[in-house]
Amino acid sequence: MTATVQILTTGYASDRVAGTVTLIRDTDVTIVVDPGMVAHRGLILDPLSELGIDPNDVTDVVFSHHHPDHTLNAALFPEARFHDHWAIYHRDVWEDRDADGFELSPSVRLIRTPGHTAEDITTLATTGTGLVAATHLWWSADGPEDDPLAHDGDQLKASRERLLAMEPTLIIPGHGAAFAPTGRVR
């Protein structure tokens, strides 16, 4: 099996801030990664509607970390299970589990990638064109190379190296367009 990945809205960070919101589908799961701050909710809901996906059909929501620019619109998906670094939340059930290696489906899993925050995770999707990583290890393809808000710069560098060793074909950063990793990405 292989997953499909689509960017619902591309984030940015300058005088205004929006997180990149990603849709991943595989077998019986429909996953939204980082439904955070956007200029208006239609930037998340309209692309879903165009794909024939009702918000109630979203089975899982993943938070790369707990900053509002990545979590603010989570309530748009009332039937979803919510995933972070240490648990799954669904309605009134809190299920402890480590995110590192947790599989949401045969082609989608989570890994711990601390650095921006101590609790950051990356969503990995195996697609027909290779491994895709939705992550906040990079703000965008253009940087900044040194995350000015990083909790731990050394951890961030180690997490970037761990991810790059997996040879992803595409990286979906926290606040920018997807990019193919090259030698200049560190």
pLDDT at residue number 182: 83
CA distance readout (Å), 19 to 68, 89, 93, 96, 175? 9, 22, 27, 26, 5
- The answer as to whether 55 is a domain residue is yes
- The answer as to whether 107 is a domain residue is yes
Residue 130 and residue 168 in contact, taking contact as beta carbons nearer than 8 Å:
yes
- The answer as to whether 180 is a domain residue is no
Expressed as residue numbers, the domain containing 63 is 4-172
Question: Helix-strand-coil percent breakdown of the chain, rounded to 5?
Answer: 15, 30, 50
> What's the pLDDT tens digit per position in 104-139?
999 999 999 999 999 999 999 999 999 999 999 999
pTM: 0.96
**CATH code at position 65:** 3.60.15.10
pLDDT at residue number 183: 63
Give me 110's structure tokens: 């989570």
- The answer as to whether 183 is a domain residue is no
pLDDT at residue number 163: 97
pLDDT at residue number 143: 84
- The answer as to whether 164 is a domain residue is yes
- The answer as to whether 77 is a domain residue is yes
Residue 162 gets which letter from DSSP?
Answer: H
Low-confidence ranges of the chain (pLDDT < 70): 183-186
Closest by Cα among 97, 98, 100 to 110: 100
- The answer as to whether 181 is a domain residue is no
pLDDT at residue number 21: 98
Q: How many domains does the chain have?
A: 1
- The answer as to whether 33 is a domain residue is yes
